[in-house]
Structure 1
Amino acid sequence: MTTDLTEITVIGGDKTGLIARVTSLLFERGINIEDLDQAVRDDIFRMTMHVDTTDMVCKPETLRDDLHDLGDELGVDVQVRFPSDRETQQIAVLATKESHCLERLFQAWASGDLGADISVVIANHDDLEPLAEKYDIPFHDVGDGKGTPDEDEILDLLNEYDADLIVLARYMRILSPDVVFRFEDRIINIHPSLLPAFPGAKAYRQALEEGVRIAGVTAHYVTTDLDQGPIITQRAFDVPDDASIDDLKERGQPLEAEALLEAVRLHLNGDVSVHRGRTRLREAREENYQLGLSPEASSANPDRPVDGLGDIVAGDGGEEADD
Structure 2
Amino acid sequence: MTRQYTQITVVGDDKTGIIAQVTTLLFERDINIEDLDQAVREGIFRMTLHVDTSEMSCTKDELRDALAELGDDIGQDITVRFPSDRETQTIAVLVTKESHCLEALLEAWADGDLGADIEVVISNHDDLEPLSDHYDIPFHDIGDEKGSPDEAQLLDLLDEYDTDLIVLARYMRILSPNVVFRYEDRIINIHPSLLPAFPGAEAYRQATEEGVRIAGVTAHYVTTDLDQGPIISQRAFDAPADATPEELERKGQPLEASALLEAVRLHLDDAIYVHHGRTELRDGVDREAYQLGLPPEMDSINPDRPVDGLGKVLSDD
User: Which band: TM-score by shorter chain?
Assistant: over 0.9
2:205 matched residue in structure 1: 205
Could you tell me whether the CA contact under 8 Å between 1:92 and 1:158 is conserved in 2? Answer: yes
1:29 and 2:46 are equivalent in the alignment: no
Q: How does 1:222-261 map to 2 (within 5 A)?
A: 222-261=222-261
Deviations 1:213-268 (A, max 9, x none): 11100011111111111111110011123322221111100000010111111111
307 and 24 in structure 1: CA distance in 2 versus 1, 3 angstrom threshold: same
Which AA in structure 1 matches 2:248? L
User: Contact 1:3–1:83 (CA<8 Å) still a contact in 2?
Assistant: no
Q: Once structures 1 and 2 are overlaid, which stretch shifts more, 238-247 or 7-16? A: 238-247
SS at match of 1:295: coil
Q: Which amino acid aligns with 2:33?
A: I
Letter in 1 for 2:31: I
C-alpha spacing 1:250/1:24, structure 2 compared with 1 (3 Å): same
Q: Distance in 1 between matches of 2:52 and 2:118?
A: 28
CA distance in 1, matches of 2:83, 2:3: 6
Residues 3 and 307 of structure 1, relative CA distance in 2, 3 Å threshold: closer
What pairs up with 1:38-77 in 2 under 5 angstroms?
38-77=38-77
- Alpha-carbon distance, 1:159 to partner: 1.3
> Displacement, 1:313?
5.7
Please give the secondary structure, in 1, of the residue aligned with 2:297: helix
Q: How does 1:55-134 map to 2 (within 5 A)?
A: 55-134=55-134
1:202 partner letter: E
Amino acid in the other structure paired with 2:301:
A
Superposed displacement of residue 27, structure 1: 2.4
In structure 2, the partner of 1:154 is: 154
* Cα distance in structure 2, aligned partners of 1:298 and 1:105: 29
What residue number does 1:319 align with? Answer: none
* Partners of 1:233 and 1:291 within 8 A in 2: yes
Deviations 1:246-294 (A, max 9, x none): 2111110000001011111111111111111111112453222111111
Post-superposition offset of 1:52: 3.0
Query: 1:177-198, CA deviations, whole angstroms, 9 ceiling, x for partnerless residues?
Result: 1111111111111000011111
Aligned counterparts of 1:248 and 1:192: Cα–Cα separation in 2: 10
Corresponding residue of 1:288: 289
Match in the other structure for 1:297? 298
Question: Whole-Å Cα distance in 1 between the matches of residues 230 and 310 of structure 2?
Answer: 33
The Cα of 1:312 is off from its aligned counterpart by 8.1
User: Which consecutive aligned stretches of 4+ in structure 1 deviate over 6 angstroms post-superposition?
Assistant: none
**Does the residue aligned with 2:39 lie in a helix, a strand or coil?**
strand
> 1:129 corresponds to which letter in structure 2?
E
Structure 2 gap ranges (5+): none
Partner secondary structure for residue 207 of structure 1: helix
Q: How big is the shift at 1:314? A: 9.1
Distance 1:308 1:104, change over 3 A: same
Of 165-174 and 23-32, deviating more is 23-32
Do 2:95 and 2:123's aligned partners in 1 also have CA atoms closer than 8 Å? yes
CA contact (8 A) 2:2 2:273 kept: no
Q: Supply the AA of the counterpart residue of 2:305.
A: R
Q: How many residues align?
A: 315
* 1:70–1:312 CA distance, 2 compared to 1 (3 A): closer
Match of 1:320 in 2: none
- Structure 1: give runs of 5+ residues left out of the alignment: 316-323
Against the structure 1 CA distance between its residues 314 and 304, is the aligned structure 2 distance closer, same or farther, given a 3 Å change threshold?
farther
User: Shift in Å at residue 114 of structure 1?
Assistant: 0.7
TM-score using structure 1 length: 0.91
Contact 1:307 1:313 in 2 (8 A): no
CA distance in 1, matches of 2:241, 2:2: 48
Amino acid in the other structure paired with 2:255: L
Q: Counterpart of 1:264 in 2: which secondary structure?
A: helix
Letter in 1 for 2:246: D
1:14-43 CA distance string (max 9 Å, x none): 222211111222222333323222122222
AA at the equivalent of 2:245: I
Separation (CA, whole Å) in 1 of partners of 2:60 and 2:312: 67
CA change 1:211–1:2 in 2 (3 A) is closer
- The separation in 1 between residues aligned to 2:47 and 2:224, in whole angstroms, is 15
- Determine the structure 2 residue equivalent to 1:144: 144
Determine the C-alpha separation between the residues in 2 that align with 1:313 and 1:115. 56
Which amino acid in 2 is paired with 1:75? Answer: G
TM superposition shift of 1:136: 1.2
Q: Deviations over 1:116-152 (max 9, x none)?
A: 1111111111111111111111111111111100111
Q: Percent identity?
A: 74
